[in-house]
Structure 1
Amino acid sequence: MFSKLILLAALYTAQFIPTTFFIQTVPIFMRQQNMSLDAIGFLSFLILPSALKFLWSPFIDRYRLPKLGHYRGWIIVFQLLLAIVTFGCAFIDIGENFNTLVVCMFLAFLFSSSQDIATDALAVNLLKPHERGIGNAVQSGGNVFGAIIGGGGVLILLDRVGWKYSLIIMSVTMLLTLIPVILYQENNKKTNRKPKKSNFFKSYFRPFISFLSRPKALPWLLVLVLYMGGEMMSGTMLRPLFVDRGLSLSEIGVMLGIVSYSVRIISALIAGVLISQLGRINSLILFGFAASIATVLYIIPAIGVSSLPVLYAVTITVNALQGMAYTALLSAMMDKCDRHTAATDYTLQVSVVYIGGVAASILSGKIATATGYAGMFVISAAVSLLSVLVIFQFFGRAAVEHT
C-alpha cells in the first residue's frame, strides 16, 4: 500500500507544478500591469484541455506504447513533454513574446491533462475499493503539494532568481518525480488489454454511452459542473483581489501558494479517514456544505480588509474545507469507474468538472466587474451550495456506494 501511495503522490504532484505556476503567476503579472478582470478571467481558457480531455481518453484506454507498459508508458511520455515545454518557457521574454508564452502554456496544460488521464486510470486499477479513501486523499494531497511548489515555492523563487532559472529548476523537479513511475512495474493483466477488433466509431463511443446509461448519470454530471465551479470562480479572482489590496508577489506566494495549500494537504488526509466512516455521499454533502459557507469569508478582504493575520485566517479556513470537499468528490468519482474503461470514465467526470470551472472562471471576471469582488464571492458560494442541494435531492436518500 505504501509504495502505491508514493507512486501516486509523485505523479499527481508533478503534473500540477507547471500548470499551477502558469495559471496563478500570470494573472498576478497581468493585474500588476493594470489589465482588466475580464481579461484575467478569460485566461482560464488555458485549462480547456482539461475540460476536453475526455475526447482522447478512449485512445489511452485502448492503446499502449510498446515496451513501456499501458498507462505507465503514456505517463512517462507526457511528463517528459511537460518538462521539455516548461524548460523552453525559461527562455521566453515575457514582455516581448507574451503570445508565444501563452501558446507554450496551452501546450503545458495539454500535456498535463493527457498525463492525468493515464494517471487517473492507473490509480483506479491500482487502488482496491477499501483503499480509495486514503488513496484519493493522497491524490488530492499530491495535487496540492504540486500547487505549493508551483504556486508558492516557484513564485517566491521567481522573486529572487528571476524567470529563467525558476523555470529551469521547475523542469528538473518534474524529471525527478518520474523516478517512481520508471521503477514501477505495471500489472499487465489488469491494465493491458488488446483492443478488440470492432468498428472504430462504435468502440470510441461505447464507453461514453455506457457511462451515460447508468442510473442518475445526468444528475451526477450536474453535480460535477457545480461542485467545484464555485471554488474555481472565487479562486480566479482571489489573487487579483490581493494585488489590489497591495500584497507583494512573495506575500501572495507564501499565503496562497504555501500556507493555504499545506492546510489543504492536511485537511485532505483528514477527509480521507472520515470518508471511510461517513460514506461518500454523506461526506460530499457535509464537506460541500461547509466549504460553500466558508467561501463567504472572502467578503472580508473584498470590503477592504488587508491585515495579513486576518487574511491568513480567512484563506486557511476556506482552503481547509475546500480540500475536504475536493477529496470527497474524487472518491465518489472513482467509485463510478469501470476498471476496463477507467481512463474514459474518470476523465469524462474530470472534464465535466473543468467545463464547469472554465465557465465559472470566465464569468467570475464579468461578475466581479459588474458587482464588485464581494458580490462575486456571494454568487460563487451560492453555486457550490446548489451542488450540495442536488446531491441531497438525488443521492442523499439512497447513499448507495458503487464499487
Structure 2
Amino acid sequence: MMPSENRSLDLRGWTSVLLLGFASGLPLFLTGSTLKAWMTQEGLDLKTIGLFSMVTLPYSLKVLWAPLLDRYALPVLGRRRSWMLVMQGAMAVGLAAMALHPPHQDLLLMAALAVGVAVASATFDIATDAWRAERLPQKLLGLGNSVHITTYRVAMLVSGGGALILAQFMGWRSTYLTMAGLTVAGMGGTLLAANTDVVARAPRTLAAAVVEPLRDLLNRPGILELGAFAVLYKLGDWLAEAMTMPFLLRGVGFTLAEVGTVQKTTAMAAIIVGGLLGGLILTKVSLRKALFAFGLLQAGSILGFWTISRLGPSLPLLVGANALENLAYGMGGSAFAVLLMSSCNRAYTGTQYALFTGLMALPRTLFAGGTGWMAERLGWSSYFLVCVAAALPGLLLLLRYEHWGPPEETSGDRS
C-alpha cells in the first residue's frame, strides 16, 4: 500500500526524521574509525587495525534478517518502532560494555562486543529506513533523505571528532559511556515517530517476506547493473575512510584534539551544507546528473588527503580536506539514498532497502579489511590515489543509467 502523495510532514514528523538520523549515525564510527583511533593509541599494529574493519560486516549482511522485521512486530509501538526501540537499547548496552573492556585487555572480547553493536545498529537501520520510506510522501523523499543523512553525518562527527576530543581529556572509558548515554537519548526519536503500520501492511507469511521482495527485484530489467552500482558508487570513499584515522594520527602526526576539533567544527558545517544543498539540487536536476556530479566531487575529495600525504601536517590543509570530504559525502549520500529508495517496491521496503544498503556497505567491510596491508605496501600517497581510481567504475555505470535507473526526472516530480 502506498502512502498518500498529499500527506504532509508536520513538526513532529520532521523532529523524528532528525533524531532518527542522529541515532542511526552514532554507532558507525564507534565500531569503526573511533575504535581504530583507540586501538592506534594502544599501539596495535596496522594489520590488526585494518582487520577490525570486518566487525562492520553486519551492515552488509542485514538483508539476511530484514524479512523478520518486515513480517513481525514486537509487542509494543507497532512493527517499525518496536524494533527501533529495542535495538537502541541493545546498542547502548553494547557501547557501555565496550567502555569497560579496553582493546589491550581482551581483543577478542572487544571484537565480539563491536560486532554485537554493529548487529543492533544494522537492525535499527532496517527499521528506520523502512519507516522513512513509508512515512515520507514522494514529493519530500529527496529533502527528507537529505535531512536524515545530514543528521546521520552530524552524529558520525560527534562519535568521531567529538569522541576524539573527549578521549583526549576524559579517556576512552568515559567517552564510550557518554556515547551510550546519547544512544539512550536518541530513543526520543522513536517515541515521537508516527506508527506506519497502516501505510504498508506486513507480508502474510515469513516465506512471502523472503521470496516476494527478491522475485520482484529479479524480474526487473537491469537489476544486475543496479546492484553493481550500489556496490561501486562509494567504493573509493569507503577505502579512503577505512584508513583516514590511522593516516592522520600515525602517518602524519596530528593529535587527537587537532583532528577532533577540525571534525567537530569545519567538517560539521560542511556536512550540514552538503546535505541540504544536495537535497535542494535534487529538486532541480535529474537524479542521474546529480549522481554523476556528486560522484565526481566524492572522488575529488580524496585528493585532499593525498595532498596532506605529500606536503606533510598542516592544519589549514586538514581543515580543507575534511570540509571537502564532508561536503561531498552529504551531497553524494543524499542522491544515493534517493536512488535506492526510489528503486524499492514499498510493499517490501525493509528487505529491499536493506539489500541495497547492504550491497553499498559491502566494499566498506570486505575490501577495507586489507586496507592496512595496502597502506603499508603502497605508502600513503599511492594508497589515496588507488582510492580515487576505485571511485571511477561506479561513475562509468551511469553511462547506462537508462537501462537500470528510476525514470529520468527530478526527484521532486518522480512518481
Percent of aligned pairs with the same amino acid:
24
For the 8 Å contact 1:21–1:155, the answer to whether it is kept is: no
CA distance, structure 1, for counterparts of residue 81 and residue 38 of structure 2: 36
Query: Which one of 216, 219, 229 corresponds to residue 213 of structure 1?
Result: 219
Which residue does 1:225 correspond to in 2? 231
**Deviations 1:348-378 (CA, angstroms, capped at 9, x unpaired):** 0000011122233123323222221111111
> Could you say if the C-alpha distance between residues 179 and 212 of structure 1 is closer, same or farther in structure 2, counting changes exceeding 3 Å?
same
Over 3 Å counting, the alpha-carbon distance change for 1:91 and 1:263 in structure 2 is same
Is the 8 Å Cα contact of residues 124 and 334 (structure 1) preserved in structure 2?
Answer: yes
Which shows bigger deviation, 340-349 or 145-154?
Answer: 145-154
8 Å CA contact retained: 1:285, 1:392: no
Moved more, 375-384 or 13-22: 13-22
**Contact in 2 for aligned 1:41/1:361 (Cα 8 Å):** yes
Deviation at 1:341, TM superposition (A): 0.5
Aligned letter for 1:400?
E
1:294-328 Cα offsets, whole Å, 9 max, x none, are 32232111124211112211221232123211111
Distance 1:350 1:40 in 2: 24
Show the counterpart of 2:408: 400
Letter in 1 for 2:199: K
TM-score by length of 1: 0.93
One-letter amino acid matched to 1:345: Q
Alignment partner for residue 302 of structure 1, among 309, 321, 325? 309
Asked if residue 82 in structure 1 is aligned to residue 91 in structure 2, the reply is yes
Partner of 1:360: 367
C-alpha distance in 2 between matches for 1:180 and 1:32: 34
Contact 1:71/1:119 (<8 A) preserved: yes
| Residue 67 of structure 1, CA deviation | 3.1
Cα deviation, residue 98, structure 1 = 2.9
What are the Cα deviations for residues 113-143 of structure 1, in whole angstroms up to 9, with x where unaligned? 0000000000000111110111111111121
CA distance 1:278–1:141, change in 2 (3 Å): same
CA distance in 1, matches of 2:266, 2:115: 28
1:203 deviates by 4.4
**Structure 2: segments with no counterpart, 5+ residues:** 1-8
Q: Which runs of 5+ in 1 are unaligned?
A: none
1:376 and 1:123 map into 2 onto residues whose CA distance is 37
Question: Could you report, residue by residue, the CA deviation over 1:197-248 in whole angstroms, capped at 9, with x for unpaired residues?
Answer: 5xx5454222122113212111111111111111010111111111121111
1:61 aligns with 2:67: no
- Give the TM-score taking structure 2 as reference length: 0.91
Amino acid in the other structure paired with 1:377:
F
Q: How many residues align?
A: 400
- Are 1:133 and 1:275, in contact at CA under 8 Å, matched by a contact in 2? yes
1:64–1:192 CA contact under 8 A, matched in 2: no
The answer as to whether partners of 2:288 and 2:401 remain within 8 angstroms in 1 is no
The one-letter amino acid paired with 1:361 is: A
Where 2:100 maps in the other structure, the secondary structure is coil
CA change 1:93–1:356 in 2 (3 A) is closer
Structure 1's 17 and 67: CA in aligned 2 closer, same or farther, altered over 3 A?
A: closer
2:148 is aligned to 139
> Do residues 259 (structure 1) and 266 (structure 2) align?
yes
The runs of at least 4 consecutive aligned structure 1 residues that moved more than 4 Å come to 200-203, 396-399
Q: Which residue of 2 aligns with 1:52?
A: 61
CA contact (8 A) 2:16 2:192 kept: no
The match for 2:24 is 15
